[in-house]
């Protein structure tokens, strides 16, 4: 086994992994939260039947892969207080592959919780050691799940993620090969493996290109066609981000457009918009950000998402009303910068908005409570002027 130094950091890779590994499926909305409720209520028999049923459903039909994945993801909560419940489940059903998978997923989430945020250089050694301990326990549980249900490909996605985090590249390659042998159309394991090939995790663009070339050889089905497009998009987004960091914005735009061609998704469109802003092509950026927002309004309002970027582009073009409309939506959803800017606009009468100091102070206070230093300073300035 080859083990390289772990490359553990928080950046767009993790954001993308969450976006792409989440999948709309036939997993019924009314079932969301049911597995966790059964666990907390210690209805372990019902829980075990439910979760093993999802595993069996995927083995019968490859299109049920994300029904199973989504069901297990509902149990993957970062809560220190429920660890013993997974142990009770395993004790009650020692031959349950579902119980072992659930505990392995839980330990993986707890690893990231124990690590905390920031880049690896900023994380204390004791937190790194704690994370690695959780990951090792996760691997142990997932391997046990494989022993209990050797024909189940779902486990591979999570094992590959765990091996990647610890830099165990030979193990993750072997697990990937096992997964595609069990299910030629497997999706989750392929996603996890492509992320393991990113340069940040010890891979290379050449390896990613080889993987994508190999992927073209699998038969086309609705599931595999989507997988191919999504993974090609990941590659081009990575190349675009790299060029963006190097300030080669024309090259970044080329790769971003290739990502959109592979899959016209919100992340790909947003990347095109970010590059267009850097190229001072703000009108084009606004059009692209608008399409990105319309594709998925629920995720468009996230921090530094397409709505916030569109607001900036509107401001640059002095389209103040449109900018304020976007900032108002973001402010209502707790975006601290948007709260600051909306407060500033009311206090100063910016952009044609009617001056309203009490309304402005309300938004500035909300922003300051969320740690926005500019809002705090402006509140102090207002109070100082009142004293005078």
Q: For residue range 64-102, list pLDDT tens digits in order.
A: 999 999 999 999 988 889 999 999 999 999 999 999 999
**CA neighbor of 159 nearest in space, from 180, 182, 147, 176:** 176
Question: What pLDDT score does 388 carry?
Answer: 40
- For residues 13 and 360, what is the distance between their CA atoms, to the nearest angstrom? 37
pLDDT interval class at 32 (50, 70, 90): low
Domain extents for the chain?
1-203, 220-317, 334-388
Residues 299, 329: contact at Cβ < 8 Å? no
308-337 average pLDDT score: 95
pLDDT interval class at 330 (50, 70, 90): very high
CATH architecture of 220-317: Alpha Horseshoe (1.25)
pLDDT at 29 over 90: no
pLDDT at 222 over 90: yes
138-152 average pLDDT score: 97
Lowest-pLDDT choice from 54-58, 76-80, 171-175: 76-80
DSSP H helices in 167-196: 169-182, 188-196
pLDDT at 19 over 50: no
Lookup result for tokens 């290739």: 258
- For residues 51 and 173, what is the distance between their CA atoms, to the nearest angstrom? 27
Question: What pLDDT score does 286 carry?
Answer: 98
In the Cβ-directed half-sphere of 273, how many Cα atoms lie within 13 Å? 28
C-alpha distances out from residue 372 to 131, 248, 363, 364, 378, Å: 30, 31, 11, 9, 10
Question: What pLDDT score does 285 carry?
Answer: 98
281-301 average pLDDT score: 96
Burial of 117 per CB tally in 10 Å (0-12, 13-18, 19+): exposed
The pTM (predicted TM-score) of the whole model is 0.81
Lowest-pLDDT choice from 107-121, 149-163, 257-271: 107-121
What whole-number percentage of the chain has pLDDT above 90?
Answer: 79
CATH fit for domain 1-203, picks 3.20.20.150, 3.40.50.620, 1.25.40.10, 1.25.60.10 = 1.25.40.10
Question: What pLDDT score does 17 carry?
Answer: 45
């Amino acid at each position: 086994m080859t083990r390289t130094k772990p490359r553990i950091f928080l950046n767009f890779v993790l954001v993308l992994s969450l976006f792409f590994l989440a999948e709309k499926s036939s997993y019924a909305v009314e079932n969301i939260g049911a597995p966790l409720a059964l666990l907390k209520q210690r209805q372990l028999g019902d829980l075990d039947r439910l979760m093993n049923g999802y595993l069996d459903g995927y083995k019968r039909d490859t299109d049920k892969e994300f029904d199973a994945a989504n069901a297990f993801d509902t149990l993957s909560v970062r809560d220190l207080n429920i660890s013993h419940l997974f142990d009770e489940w395993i004790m009650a059903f020692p031959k349950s592959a579902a119980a072992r998978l659930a505990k392995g997923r839980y330990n993986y989430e707890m690893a990231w919780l124990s690590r905390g945020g920031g880049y690896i250089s900023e994380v204390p050694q004791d937190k790194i050691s704690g994370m690695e301990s959780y990951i090792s326990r996760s691997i142990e549980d997932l391997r046990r799940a494989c022993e209990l249900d050797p024909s189940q490909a779902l486990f591979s996605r999570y094992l590959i993620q765990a091996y990647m985090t610890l830099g165990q590249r030979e193990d993750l390659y072997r697990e990937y090969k096992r997964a595609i042998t069990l299910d030629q159309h497997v999706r989750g394991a392929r996603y996890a493996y492509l992320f393991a090939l990113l340069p940040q995790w010890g891979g290379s663009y050449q390896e990613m290109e080889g993987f994508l070339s190999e992927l073209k050889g699998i038969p086309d089905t609705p599931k595999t066609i989507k997988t191919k497009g999504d993974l090609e998009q990941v590659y081009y987004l990575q190349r675009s981000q790299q060029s963006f960091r190097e300030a080669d914005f024309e090259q970044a735009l080329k790769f971003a457009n290739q990502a959109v061609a592979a899959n016209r998704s919100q992340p790909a469109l947003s990347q095109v918009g970010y590059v267009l802003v850097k190229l001072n092509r703000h009108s084009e950026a606004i059009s692209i950000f608008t399409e990105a927002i319309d594709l998925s309004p629920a995720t468009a309002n996230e921090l530094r998402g397409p709505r916030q970027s569109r607001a900036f582009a509107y401001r640059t073009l002095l389209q103040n009303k449109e900018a304020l409309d976007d900032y108002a939506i973001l402010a209502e959803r707790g975006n601290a910068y948007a709260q600051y800017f909306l407060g500033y606009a009311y206090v100063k009468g910016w952009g044609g908005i009617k001056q309203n100091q009490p309304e402005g102070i309300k938004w500035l206070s909300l922003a300051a409570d969320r740690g926005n230093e500019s809002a705090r300073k402006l509140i102090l300035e207002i109070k100082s002027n009142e004293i005078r």
